[in-house]
Structure formats: C-alpha cells, structure tokens
Amino acid sequence: MRIFNSYFGEGTSSVLYDEIRTKRGLVYDIKGFLKNESGIKLYSISLGTSKENIELAMKLIDDNIKKL
C-alpha cells in the first residue's frame, strides 16, 4: 500500500496531483493518506477546492481509481 500511495496520491509527482491540480487546476492541494495500524486499514484522500469543483474532482478521482 505504501508503494501504491507513493504512485497514486502522495506528493507532487502523484497521479492525483498531476491529473487534478496540474492539468486541470481544480484543487489547491490533494494528497492520499494511508493508515495501516493494528486493526485499521484505511486509505483516504484529502483535497482543498471550491464548491463548484467538488463533483468534478470526485469524478476524476473515481475515474483514476478505475484506471488502475
């Protein structure tokens, strides 16, 4: 999961950052977080955007997950 997060959601070279921020300019910041604690396995995505861009940003995240 750490390798996946490095590729998909962590940092400025990630898939999400490149697609949603660099190419489309929809968000101020976007990143993925991995919680891999005892009994907890959770991957979450955090982003900062305007109300108008929420639906499109979520659709792009879903589309990129499906591509993987």
The pLDDT value given to residue 13: 87
Strands (E), 1-68: 27-37, 40-49
Confidence of residue 12 (pLDDT cuts 50, 70, 90): confident
How far from 13 is each of 5, 20, 41, 43, CA to CA, in Å? Answer: 11, 12, 24, 18
Q: What is the pLDDT of residues 40-53, one digit of tens each?
A: 889 999 999 999 99
If you average pLDDT over every residue of the chain, what do you get?
Answer: 91
Per-residue pLDDT, 51: 94
Q: What is the pTM of this model?
A: 0.83
Statement: residue 54 has pLDDT above 90: yes
